[in-house]
Amino acid sequence: MLTAYSLQLFYPASASQVVDLTEIGIGAKPLGMGSVFNPEDNSGSLFQNPAALANIGKYSLTSMSGNVMGEVPYLMFGGAYRTNYGTIGVGYINASVGGIKEATLVNGVPEITGNEANYGSGTLLIGFAKDAKWNTKVGASLKFINQGFSGAPSFEGAGGGGFDLDLGTIIPINERLTGALTLKNIIPGSNMRGDELPLAIVGGLAYKVPDRNWLAAVDLASTTRGLLFHLGAEWNPFKQFFLRAGLDQKPDNINYSLGVGTRARGFNFDYAYHTYAGLGEMTTHYFSIGYVGEEPKVESPPPVAPKPVIVKPAVKKPGKAPVVIKKKVIIPPKKK
């Protein structure tokens, strides 16, 4: 059952569309938040909204591994580097399914031949982002996809390769609220050997409360399968430790996710627990390791020496008591 469901997830029944791996998993941090887009994410944001690359410091690295539903090995890694002209990012995702049994029709009845096929899919992304007017960020990523079967004669040729393009922007609304918009797979037509990646338009909002150390985000995706929402939150209860939770809607069900993360010496360690189809045996554990560099140390200003107080000697004037003159002369009132 799991193999059939895994194959359905990675190789849709519609012959006019192919799988976009960036919809399945894009790092343990966003997966722990219900796959919602977080504008403060590192180079892993290349797989969701390329405009977020403009938010990194000098450079950033990320990686993730998992075994989707216990049967689909999944690997992701990426990196980004800031230049004087903008930020360049490169990422790669790979997933595969093995042990697919080959069957042929004999007098209208399917019979197992004994051969087994493997299905693999890989996506390479090259992105660029930069700052724009009014503190907005804009970005684009070009995707190169290759997927297909091997190992059984009847499966040969059921695959192909091609390319597509994503565009994204991030718009700060105020100090706490940020908006984001992503157009995914915008190149029309059959650019995958007669197939195409499904077009998706994703818009979302993220609200941050710095004094409470939490962030909440929601987005809505318009896809060929209908409207899908993602909802997630992150709480930073104490320094360098994060708790996450989210809801991830799929066409036929709503999955929930949980996650934790920590940060030390510029490294991020994140874990996500994600359900699929509401079945316990399809629960998947994801692990990510990334590097964003150490946070710059805020040096306290040097102590300011107190200003010297100049005390002038007592001055005695006729008919008046002596007083100490400090910056100005104080004359007591006359006695009646």
From the list 33, 31, 63, 27, the residue with the least C-alpha distance to 45 is: 27
H-only helix segments in 56-181: none
- Give dist(CA 126, CA 91) in Å, integer: 7
The pLDDT, as a whole number, for residue 267 is 92
Whole-number pLDDT of residue 50: 93
Q: What is the pLDDT of residue 165?
A: 94
CA 67/CA 75 separation, integer angstroms: 9
pTM, rounded to two decimals: 0.77
What was the pLDDT predicted at 181? Answer: 96
Query: Alpha-carbon distance 165 to 46, whole Å?
Result: 12
Compute CA 289 distance to the chain's CA centroid, rounded to the nearest angstrom. 13
Asked if residues 20 and 185 have their Cβ atoms less than 8 Å apart, the reply is yes
pLDDT given at position 93: 93
Q: What is the pLDDT of residue 14?
A: 46
Say which residue the tokens 């919809």 belong to. 23
Distance CA 204, CA 170 (A): 10
- For position 7, what pLDDT does the model report? 44
DSSP state of 105: E
Please tell me the distance from the alpha carbon of residue 180 to that of residue 168, in angstroms, as a whole number: 7
Quickly name the fold that domain 2-291 has.
Answer: Porin (2.40.160)
pLDDT at 13: 41
CA distance 70 to 6: 9
Which of 3, 1, 25 lies closest to 97 in space, CA to CA? 3
Each residue's pLDDT expressed in tens, for the chain with a length of 336 residues = 444 444 445 444 444 456 678 877 678 999 999 999 877 666 678 889 999 999 888 889 999 998 876 678 889 999 999 999 999 999 999 988 877 777 777 777 777 777 777 888 899 999 999 999 989 999 999 999 888 777 776 666 666 778 899 999 999 999 999 999 999 999 887 666 667 788 899 999 999 998 889 999 999 999 888 899 999 999 999 888 999 999 999 888 899 999 999 998 889 999 999 988 766 667 889 999 999 876 655 455 666 666 666 655 655 555 555 555 555 555 566 655
